[in-house]
Amino acid sequence: MLVTITRNQPRPQWLRAPAPVGENYRGIKALVERLRLHTVCESAACPNVGECWNHRTATFMILGNVCTRRCGFCAVQKGGPLPVDYDEPRRVAEAVATLGLRYAVITSVNRDDRKDGGAELFALTIRAIRERVPDCRVEVLIPDFQGSHAAMDIVLEAAPDVMNHNIETVPRLYRQVRLGARYERSLDILAYSHRVRPEIPTKSGVMLGLGETRDEVLAVMRDLRAHNVSILTLGQYLSPSPKHLPVIRYIPPEEFAEYRREGLEMGFAQVVAGPLVRSSYHAAEAASEAGV
């Protein structure tokens, strides 16, 4: 089933997400504002913010909300980075405790201005959460740290429960989609994580609908398995604005289901695939089903 689209064509029914309303949604919004935190849910214009926040889950974004890269798909603000806030880990831990989370997902903007790419703040945040909420599992969704193994070591020493880094798209589209990133570099840091700390599952995600072919998607999935990635997410790319890359194709749910079936046959411990899936969507469930 091929869906050809134009910018003005409405989204298919399978891409309709709940509106961001409700008491829990308002409560998390107030908490985030009070603690002066950022979430990828808002900064990246995630379509699932209504569902997730009403279930009292959120993905916290550390190191500010201004990214040093200009990826063609991403809604996060670009420009000069903000100063590092060393009180931020404490406030994230406070938010995790207030929400009663037993599974927290921490991500960040790219910080190419810093030698460690921001790895220090990831480690401090993991430790702050563990100190405040000892039984909370922590998944980190890291940038590529420009391929620095030393930066990876800093995060790995803090022992996150899941190490996530998104491959995002197929190699042919990298120059359009992931400006400043390299496909082989992303594979390398995933492989390095598994090699150094094999007990920490690695995870990655791919956006579909940017013009990739089925064979290219399957090749990326095979590459990820060859580099010992155990959890995979596949979701539909949605253009945040007319200034961002356009959606080339809407992938129907049954095609996502087929990718999931093929991924499990390849040996992934868990594959979460669907039009509204994002890298941290139902992350706790995916980790549990993968044995984390």
Residue numbers of the domain that contains 220:
15-289
DSSP string computed for 202-236 = EEEEEEE-SS--HHHHHHHHHHHHHTT--EEEEEE
pLDDT at 45 over 70: no
Q: What is the pLDDT of residue 209?
A: 94
Is position 41 within any domain?
yes
The residues that bridge with 103 in the sheet, in sequence order, are 137
Q: What is the pLDDT of residue 70?
A: 67
Is position 3 within any domain?
no
Is position 4 within any domain?
no
DSSP string computed for 50-68 = HHHHHTT--EEEES-SEES
Q: Which amino acid is at 141?
A: L
Report the helix count and the strand count for the chain, using DSSP H and E: 11, 10
**Where does the pLDDT of residue 215 fall: very low under 50, low under 70, confident under 90, or very high at 90 and above?**
very high
pLDDT at 269 over 70: yes
pLDDT at 206 over 50: yes
Q: Give the separation between CA 284 and CA 291, rounded to whole angstroms.
A: 11
Is position 2 within any domain?
no
Which tens digit of pLDDT belongs to each residue from 69-116? 666 556 666 777 788 999 999 999 999 999 888 899 999 887 888 989
Is position 135 within any domain?
yes
User: How many domains, the chain?
Assistant: 1
pLDDT at 3 over 70: no
Q: What is the pLDDT of residue 239?
A: 79
The burial of 188, by beta-carbon neighbours within 10 Å (0-12 exposed, 13-18 middle, 19 or more buried), is given as middle
Q: Give the separation between CA 65 and CA 14, rounded to whole angstroms.
A: 30
Q: What is the pLDDT of residue 46?
A: 59
The sign one gets for the Cα dihedral 168, 273, 4, 221 is positive
Residue with tokens 């990876």: 152
Which tens digit of pLDDT belongs to each residue from 225-245? 999 999 999 999 987 777 888
What's the mean pLDDT when you consider all of the chain?
86
| Nearest one of 236, 215, 224, 217 to 267, comparing CA atoms | 224
145 or 65, higher pLDDT: 145
Q: What is the pLDDT of residue 122?
A: 97
Neighbours of 231 (CB within 10 A): 28
Q: What is the pLDDT of residue 1?
A: 41
pLDDT at 195 over 60: yes
- Residue 133 is encoded by which pair of tokens? 């909420």
pTM equals: 0.89
235 or 285, higher pLDDT: 235
- Residue 23 is encoded by which pair of tokens? 């008491």
**Residue 101 is part of a domain; what is its CATH number?**
3.20.20
- Residue 46 is encoded by which pair of tokens? 């995630």
Strand 59-62 to 38-39 pairing: antiparallel
The residues that bridge with 208 in the sheet, in sequence order, are 236
> What is the rounded average pLDDT of the residues 151-157?
98
pLDDT at 265 over 80: yes
Is position 58 within any domain?
yes
